[in-house]
């Protein structure tokens, strides 16, 4: 039987998947820290499979001037281990975070979605705003959002 769960995790617990999936160009786990990781309004969600974190997302309170919503949160550093892709662990992270965001009275969740992840976000109910833009080293992205 597969044992899975989703919960709030620490900043450092996000580093291994950030390095493995998102930022292979970095040299160490310590380089995976973001300046917003430890703000009191930031939280990190992890999905576990058999005791191992297999999907993560970081959620921070940040306004994007392209949206009028008052209490906006941004999703950053969303990653799912390649060995569990397609098993809905990314969906579990988003679903858990949306409940937490409702508790925090958030109006909107937005993200810079990598081209390869657009289909995932669309399935999760996110809408696209605008055209592709390039993020250096990482590649093409689109701004995506979901009303809460």
Helix-, strand-, coil-residue percentages of the chain, each rounded to 5: 30, 40, 35
Residue 129 belongs to a domain = no
Residue 146 belongs to a domain = no
Paired tokens of 90: 């990314």
Mean pLDDT of 109-137: 88
Whole-number mean pLDDT of the chain?
89
Residue 100 has pLDDT above 60, yes or no: yes
Residue 130 belongs to a domain = no
Q: Is there a contact between 30 and 57 (Cβ–Cβ < 8 Å)?
A: no
* Longest Cα–Cα distance in the chain: 46
Residue 141 belongs to a domain = no
The boundaries of the domain holding residue 12 are 4-109
Under 8 Å CB-to-CB from 140, ≥6 apart: which residues? 114, 115, 132, 133, 134
Predicted TM-score (pTM) of the model is 0.89
How many domains does one find in the chain?
1
Confidence bin at 107 (pLDDT 50/70/90): very high
pLDDT at 28: 76
Report the CATH number that the domain containing residue 18 is assigned in CATH.
3.40.630.30
Residue 32 belongs to a domain = yes
Residue 136 belongs to a domain = no
pLDDT digits (tens, 9 = 90+) for 15-72: 888 888 777 777 777 776 877 888 899 999 999 999 889 999 999 999 999 999 999 9
Residue 83 belongs to a domain = yes
Of 78, 76, 142, 63, give the one whose Cα is nearest residue 108. Answer: 63
Residue 85 belongs to a domain = yes
Paired tokens of 81: 């281990």
């Amino acid at each position: 039987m597969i044992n899975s769960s989703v919960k709030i995790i620490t900043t450092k617990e996000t580093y291994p998947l950030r390095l493995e999936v998102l930022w292979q160009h970095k040299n160490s786990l310590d380089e995976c820290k973001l300046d917003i990781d430890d703000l009191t309004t930031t939280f990190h969600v992890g999905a576990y499979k058999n005791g191992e974190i297999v999907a993560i997302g970081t959620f921070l309170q940040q306004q994007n001037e392209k949206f009028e919503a008052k209490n906006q949160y941004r999703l950053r550093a969303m990653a799912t281990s390649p060995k569990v892709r397609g098993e809905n662990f990314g969906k579990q992270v988003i679903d858990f975070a949306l409940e937490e965001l409702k508790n925090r009275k958030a109006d909107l969740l937005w993200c810079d979605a990598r081209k390869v992840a657009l289909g995932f976000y669309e399935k999760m109910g996110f809408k696209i705003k605008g055209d592709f833009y390039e993020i250096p080293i990482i590649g093409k992205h689109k701004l995506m959002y979901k009303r809460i």
